[in-house]
A and B are shown apart, each in its own frame.
Chain A
Amino acid sequence: MKLAVLVNEGPYQHQAADSALQFTKAALEKGHEIFRVFFYHDGVHNGTRLGVPPQDDRNVTQQWSELAEKHNLDLVVCVAAAQRRGILDASEAKRHGKDADNIAPGFRISGLGQLIEAGIQAERLVVFGD
């Protein structure tokens, strides 16, 4: 079945980012298609490549990136939520005159239309958040 996932909470806040990750992994293992994972509100913090969690702790962003590479996942970060919170790709950094970008591998920045499309195209939308 074609599924989509919405993540509304940042990593290391409560548990929603971990739950979304585990659910996505389980769905892929069962052979389902993940049409898209959309990161909204504080969920955009999942998409920074500059996070350095302690060595004995899980690296949520890295797990998303690895999963995206392995399964060709579409990880989309909401542009408006990202700009407010300082999550930028190269073109957004240039557009706003910033000296660096920090989007993690496998993530891309796009608009809320991508969430609407995921809701229409996928047969189920599963929401994880605070």
Chain B
Amino acid sequence: MATLHTVNKSPFEKRSLDCCIRHANPGSAILLIEDGVYGALKDTAVSDKVSGALDGRKVYVLGPDLHARGMSDDRVIDGVEVVDYAAFVDLVTEHDRVQAWL
């Protein structure tokens, strides 16, 4: 009974990523979209927290939103997977439910 969590706000603007990580059970997945992609970057104030979330969970970042903000894949935390919209659809169908942290 795995959940896909989506986070669409920057962790430097809202607490939604923090809330999401606290609630996301082992085996669940977190997908960072829109301004949420800032949470996927290396060497920020929240990088350690996101790296920690990778223990038992999968973390994904939506590539088109990352690239639209001028960032390349090599700036993403090791272990965080860059995906496209087709893979976003697959993540939705592969998980039992989707929880949007708006």
A residues near B (Cβ < 8 Å) are 1, 3, 8, 14-16, 19, 22-23, 25-27, 29-30, 32, 123-130
Q: Is B54 an interface residue (CB 8 A)?
A: no
Across the interface, name the chain B residue whose C-beta is closest to A125.
Answer: B98
Across the interface, B93 reaches (CB within 8 A) one of A22, A124, A128, A130, namely A124
How many B residues have CB within 8 A of the partner chain? 19
B residues near A (Cβ < 8 Å) are 6, 8, 33-35, 64-65, 84-86, 88-90, 92-93, 97-98, 100, 102
Assess whether A126 is in contact with B93, with CB atoms less than 8 Å apart.
Answer: no
**10 pairs of residues in contact across A and B, judged by CB atoms under 8 Å:** A16-B34, A19-B8, A26-B85, A27-B89, A124-B98, A125-B98, A126-B92, A127-B102, A128-B100, A130-B102
Instruction: Give the A-B contact count at a CB cut-off of 8 A.
Output: 56
Bound Cα distance from A60 to B102, whole angstroms: 21
Q: Across the interface, which residues of B come within 8 angstroms of A3, CB to CB?
A: 92-93
Assess whether B98 is in contact with A126, with CB atoms less than 8 Å apart.
Answer: yes
Across the interface, name the chain B residue whose C-beta is closest to A30.
Answer: B89
Across the interface, name the chain B residue whose C-beta is closest to A27.
Answer: B89
Across the interface, name the chain B residue whose C-beta is closest to A18.
Answer: B34
Assess whether B89 is in contact with A127, with CB atoms less than 8 Å apart.
Answer: no
Assess whether B86 is in contact with A124, with CB atoms less than 8 Å apart.
Answer: no
Q: Known: A14-B34, A16-B8, A29-B86. Contact between A22 and B64, CB under 8 A?
A: yes
Q: Across the interface, which residues of B come within 8 angstroms of A14, CB to CB?
A: 8, 34-35
